[in-house]
Amino acid sequence: MRYKYLLFDLDGTVSESAEGVRLSLESAINSLGVPAPDLDDYTLYIGPPLLDTFRELCGLDEEQSRRGALLYRDVYNEKGKYKNRAYDGMKRLLEDLREQGARTAICTSKFEPFAREIIEIIGLEGCFDAVCGSTLDGSRKDKKDLIPYAISALGGDLERDRERAVMLGDSFYDARGARLCGVDFIGVEYGYGAAEGMIAEGALHLAKTVGDLRELLLG
């Protein structure tokens, strides 16, 4: 295999999660008592860090955004995280990658404990060598910070191993993080992001299905 370290975004790449994310975001916005934006376009809020969503999509200040993030996490922990399922074929792909000697990690802007729970909920426990996500204080939320963290969690080092690492995701944010870290990026079109944004950030390949992704990684 070309890559040893494979870093997977979670929402829209490994997990179909839009229903739970939207439910939690709508509830948080209603609790804040602020005007609700149009949430029909998933590209606007599935992919960006949570604090950025409240700041940029909802137009809130820093204090309101942090309050919104806490409200969101409460609802997501109670209800939203259960509205997830793994994409068809994903478990088999992950198992086969590891059989070929690859080391795999979740690399997500989602709060790390939530990411760990979701992996169990969707039946992929044991399919990843590491699950890497953000912190409650909003640090380590961008992919440019998460990618080095995830490679390190897999036993590698960004400076030494960047040519052996690849980020896999469905959004501009995933692609930009990969570019800033100098690692390859493979985008998936079956998720919630837009192909144009991933291409603009230098996507090496785009996969329309999990089967296409399998072909790109395993041949």
Whole-angstrom Cα Rg for the chain: 16
Dihedral class, residue 107 (left if φ above 0, else alpha if ψ from -120 to 50, else beta): beta
Single out the catalytic residue among 9, 170, 174, 184. 9
Go through 118-157 and write b for each residue having 16 or more CB atoms within 10 A of its CB, e for each that does not. Answer: bbebbebeebbbbbbbbeeebebbbbebbbbbbbbbbebe
Residue with tokens 């399922």, as numbered in its chain: 85
Distance CA 192, CA 7 (A): 18
Query: CB under 8 Å to 197, separation ≥6 — which residues?
Result: 171, 172, 175
Q: How far is it between the farthest Cα atoms of the chain?
A: 51
Query: CB under 8 Å to 103, separation ≥6 — which residues?
Result: 4, 5, 6, 129, 130, 154, 155, 156
9 catalytic residue (yes or no): yes
Q: Say if residues 206 and 187 touch (Cβ distance below 8 Å).
A: yes
Residue with tokens 């790390």, as numbered in its chain: 112
User: Annotated catalytic sites, by residue?
Assistant: 9
